[in-house]
A = this chain, B = another copy of it.
Amino acid sequence: MERADWIGAPEGLTRIEGMGVTAPDGFRAAGVAAGLKADGMPDVGLLVSDRPCASALVDTSSALPSAAVLYTRTLHTGSLRGVVVNSGCANAATGEPGITDARAMGAAAAAAAGVPLDSLAVCSTGVIGERLPMAILTPGLDAAAAALSTRGGAAFGEAIRTTDAFAKGGTFRLALTSGPVTIGAAAKGAGMIRPDMATMLAYVATDACVLPGDLLVAARAAAAGGFNRISVDGQMSPSDTLLVLANGEGPPLEGADLRLFADALRAICRYLAILMVKDGEGAEHAVRVVVAGARDDDEAERVGRAVGESALVRTAMYGQDANWGRVHQAVGQALAGTGGPVDVSLRFDGTVPDGPDIAEVLARPEYEMHVALGRGDGWAELFASDLGHGYVAVNAGYRT
């Protein structure tokens, strides 16, 4: 990614070479092919900490959450030991039998990994409406447990992919006054754009010591500033999950170090979120839509969503057309009924729509669309992608 300024990394956070979620001390992981995916790719991921973790779970706000989400919400988040994930089947819209399956999946994985019952979060991603094939899955859980390794972070990252074009994650070092900590991340998702597979999953592991309450506050802020700032087609999944695991021992972070850790978590989540936008099917551009001059932040947010999720604006991005009339139309719709004047002013990476450099700007893989409204101090941002033929091809052809 070229736009480091989009991430907002705090001082002291650096990206390093490493195995992602197994880079922090005390984490082992694995990814194996159990046979849930027809193409034989890895489909079971297991991440286990040698010691209990403080954990923070931020999951879907759908009114119809998946069975895995419903089960995981019942766990005690102060003493998790890790997470087990399968791809290929979402275990969503499966009712009570699905919850029983999720619980059995967690129990089998815990037994195989030698950790307590109900100490593993459970996530599933794939087709909605089909039961988990437990007879295929269970041997896969055993195989994953047998393969657990401190070098297994990359395999874990592969196993959670569905139709992602590339694996997403990273390894980071954060300098704190109390000493350095390591943070590893693995994520999947193409910004809710994928058919059925439309799920965002992100796992962050760290050897920092953080109180569960502090971790939850930081995770919620990171989700709000990261994954909730992206939209491809405005579709929410029943399985969306961010899970942060912190297995550090010793005095928990506080004060400036805790704030720095929270800032780093937010930057890492923004990094992962923007990767998801860039992976959108058929997407050729990641566009940061910034709305300024709204009456308040809520109004700016509404305008940002209207612009960034507009099919007309997004096809114009795809066509590299500085079609400001479509932005104008979306703004007018978003502000319907609010009264008062609106003075729309538009810049693409600082260039006006009829500027001489506009064609070059709109060809960039990443650019910023700045929409000023001249009504107040309200501000919002949204990361969006363009809408091209690839989206239709994948989403119409899938399953049939």
Instruction: Please give the residue numbers on chain A whose beta carbons come within 8 Å of chain B beta carbons, in ascending order.
Output: 60-65, 90, 92-93, 127-129, 195-196, 198, 233-238, 310-312, 315-316, 318-321, 323-326, 328-339, 342, 344, 387-389, 391-393, 395-400
Contacts and interface: CB of A to CB of B under 8 A. Distances in A.
B64 A395 contact: no
B238 A397 contact: no
Contact of A392 (B233, B318, B400): B318
A195 B392 CA distance: 18
A128 B335 CA distance: 18
A335 B395 contact: no
A395 B236 contact: no
Most chain-B CB neighbours within 10 Å: which of A62, A93, A320, A393? A62
A332 B64 contact: yes
Contacts of A310: 233, 235
A333 B396 contact: no
Contact of A319 (B61, B331, B396): B396
A24 B395 CA distance: 48
Contacts of A63: 331-339, 342
A319 B196 contact: no
Nearest to A362: B400
B389 A392 contact: yes
Contacts of A396: 315-316, 318-319, 321, 387-388
A325 to B, nearest CB: 3
Nearest to A397: B319
A260 to B, nearest CB: 33
A92 B195 CA distance: 37
A325 B129 contact: yes
Contacts of A64: 328-329, 331-332, 335, 342, 344
Contact of A315 (B324, B333, B344, B395): B395
Contact of A235 (B311, B321, B335): B311
Contacts of A387: 392, 396
Contacts of A395: 311-312, 315-316, 319
A235 B315 CA distance: 13
Contacts of A393: 389
Nearest to A395: B315
B399 A128 contact: no
